[in-house]
């Protein structure tokens, strides 16, 4: 297959229908960057997109892969060849999904086993030294907490981001309380401000994570715009977290590094917005 020929064919049909790259991308639920890569011959559409792309451009899959429309003499066999191509696509897609699923399961099982080994190792060492479960409860609770955050993404890919954030939202505050209780139970040095500061800063951070998630969901075809807004929102979030800490310790912790962090995020926001505007003009 000729990538450049197919890309030029897609661009020709898109323009004939008065669609921008963004319009076509939205119809296919992908980014306009992907469409741009097709049309420049850098890459080809994913096999799962070919049927929908062909329907939108009002051509057959065979014509799309050939990079040209068939003449009248070839119309008689066009439907049969298209059926064959679609069947091959469905089969290939099924095989890819099966292999991807197998890899995800293997990774999930491997991570789970590694976590279990970590729990067992900590428990054995702690019991052997202290004849009781003391410090091992800290890494064990941390491992369990991490498992709930990591496994959804490992097992479900992008679809696992939402469950991971949900687990983060539900488990973080109980996790902090459990850590505090374990530390106090083992008579380890701990500041009583750990809980109020930890809970409030965690709430602010979790809200920020949800905002970022919905920003990238809403602007899924405008990732640079979402990144720009994310960086801008990070500035008041960092300021609020510092304010919470200042309030409880009754001492300002602001220094030149905080100002530098604010500037870095503002600069990043400007850079991402510049890239977003430039990409719009190039469409």
**Can you give the pLDDT at residue 77?**
54
Residue 109 CA to residue 131 CA, distance in Å, equals 31
**Which pLDDT belongs to residue 189?**
59
Q: What pLDDT sits at residue 190? A: 60
pLDDT > 90 fraction of the chain, expressed in percent and rounded:
36
Residue 80's pLDDT is 58
Residue 9 clears pLDDT 70, i.e. is over it: yes
Q: Which two tokens stand for residue 159?
A: 């679809």
Higher pLDDT, 85 or 280: 280
Give the three-state DSSP class for 9.
Answer: helix
Q: What pLDDT digit, counting tens, does each position of 133-190 carry?
A: 888 888 999 999 999 999 999 988 888 999 999 999 999 999 998 888 888 777 665 6
Q: Extract the tokens encoding 27.
A: 């119809």
E strands, 91-195, are none
How many Å is the Cα radius of gyration of the chain?
A: 27
Average pLDDT of span 23-48: 85
Token digits for 262?
């604010």
3-state secondary structure of 58: coil
Helical (H) or strand (E) element with 191: none
Residue 78 has pLDDT above 60, yes or no: no
Are 24 and 46 in contact by the 8 Å Cβ rule? The answer is no
Distance CA(261)–CA(146), nearest Å, equals 27
C-alpha span between 17 and 15 (Å, rounded): 5
Mean pLDDT lowest for which of 177-191, 254-268, 269-283? 177-191
Q: Which residue has the tokens 């057959």?
A: 60
Angstrom distance (rounded) from CA 149 to CA 161: 9
3-69 is classed CATH 1.10.10.10: no
Does position 244 have pLDDT exceeding 70, yes or no? Answer: yes
Q: What are phi and psi of 280, to 5 degrees?
A: -60, -45
Q: What is the pLDDT of residues 197-233, one digit of tens each?
A: 899 999 999 999 999 999 999 988 788 999 999 999 9
* Domain ranges, ordered by start, for the chain: 3-69, 200-283
Question: Token pair of 21, please?
Answer: 């790259």
Q: Which of 126-130, 158-162, 222-226, 263-267 has the highest mean pLDDT?
A: 263-267
Position 122 pLDDT exceeds 70: yes
Which of 204, 202, 193 has its CA nearest to residue 249? Answer: 193
Mean per-residue pLDDT for 40-49? 83
pLDDT at residue 249 greater than cutoff 60:
yes
The pLDDT assigned to 76 comes to: 52
Tokens (6 digits) for 166: 């949900």
Q: Which of 27-36, 90-99, 263-272 has the highest mean pLDDT?
A: 263-272
């Amino acid at each position: 297959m000729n990538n450049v020929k197919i890309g030029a064919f897609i661009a020709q049909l898109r323009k004939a229908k008065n669609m921008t790259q963004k319009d076509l991308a939205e119809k296919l639920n992908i980014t306009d960057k992907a469409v741009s890569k097709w049309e420049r011959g850098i890459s080809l559409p994913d096999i799962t997109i070919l049927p929908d792309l062909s329907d939108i451009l009002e051509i057959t899959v065979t014509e799309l892969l050939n990079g040209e429309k068939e003449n009248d003499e070839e119309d008689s066999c066009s439907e049969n060849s298209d059926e064959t191509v679609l069947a091959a696509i469905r089969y290939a897609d099924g095989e890819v999904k099966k292999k991807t699923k197998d890899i995800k399961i293997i990774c999930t099982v491997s991570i789970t086993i590694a976590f279990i080994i970590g729990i067992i190792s900590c428990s054995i060492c702690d019991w052997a030294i202290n004849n009781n479960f003391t410090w091992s409860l800290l890494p064990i609770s941390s491992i369990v907490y991490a498992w709930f955050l990591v496994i959804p993404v490992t097992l479900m890919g992008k679809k696992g981001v939402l469950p991971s954030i949900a687990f983060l939202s539900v488990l973080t505050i109980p996790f902090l309380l459990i850590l505090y209780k374990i530390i106090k139970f083992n008579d380890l040095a701990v500041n009583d401000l750990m809980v109020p500061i930890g809970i409030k800063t965690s709430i602010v951070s979790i809200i920020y994570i949800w905002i970022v998630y919905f920003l990238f969901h809403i602007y899924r075809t405008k990732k640079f715009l979402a990144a720009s807004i994310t960086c801008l929102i990070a500035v008041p979030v960092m300021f609020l977290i510092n304010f919470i800490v200042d309030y409880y310790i009754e001492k300002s912790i602001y220094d030149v590094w905080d100002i530098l962090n604010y500037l870095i995020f503002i600069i990043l926001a400007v850079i991402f917005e510049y890239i977003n505007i430039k990409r719009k003009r190039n469409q």
